Structure 1
């Protein structure tokens, strides 16, 4: 089986990975709309709340411990509730990632596909000229700087 993953979908998938790892579940909900997994009419606040419940504990373990299989398995109930649609191109991607992780685990039981691909994702966001990825990078950097400055001011008041 084979399919084509258009550039805007590739960018959207990369953005979704970044939003997941950085606990930006609101951004992840928007990514799911962009990727065609959710209808544009979905109640984004409710979706964000549900995604937080599904992914928070997995992400708190750290990117090196996130299993693709665990993420997709925990998402089932939320997908049903919010009427997720799985476009054919995306089902091929999900299947490929699950198969690749399964094969890799047979050689290394500690293998995690997201952990292995995250350095490539980070490099792609830092070097790609895509306007969407640039925007995501700027937003991510802004949030990191804001958190650092907030932390510094909070500690300086003590």
Structure 2
């Protein structure tokens, strides 16, 4: 019983934080799902965005808990900067993965095209005209008129010019 007497403030703050954390997760999940339903987003893409947001909120809640229980802010900053440095060095070679995840989230919210659209990717060396078959967290699956499946990284969709042509290959005149 002395634990609760000695740490009553920390226990109450932890309870409030956990309540707010779980309520925010529910609220954010509902808001993202509502946005996805209004804008006709794909369910598995919606779930990915919710996972990313939940991961960020969990990290912030852990930081808040360490502050509540008396860990000094400078100690947290030192630990976070050390971890960030190690992860940054380890992930430097994997920057494209992070770039593709970020691009996938941006595509989810801005979503300039949808599955079934035929797009033209304006690439000087490798121009592509293909129908969007699937949109994932890391890449977009495209299928050409000849049936060739192309996996195109999300981050390149932001680096190249893209024309949204029509919704089906049958409607496109390839003679131009």
Shorter-normalised TM range = under 0.3
Structure with larger Rg: 2
More strand by share: 2
Given the two structures, how large is their TM-score scaled by the length of structure 2?
0.23
Higher relative contact order, structure no. (Cα contacts within 8 Å, ≥ 6 residues apart): 1
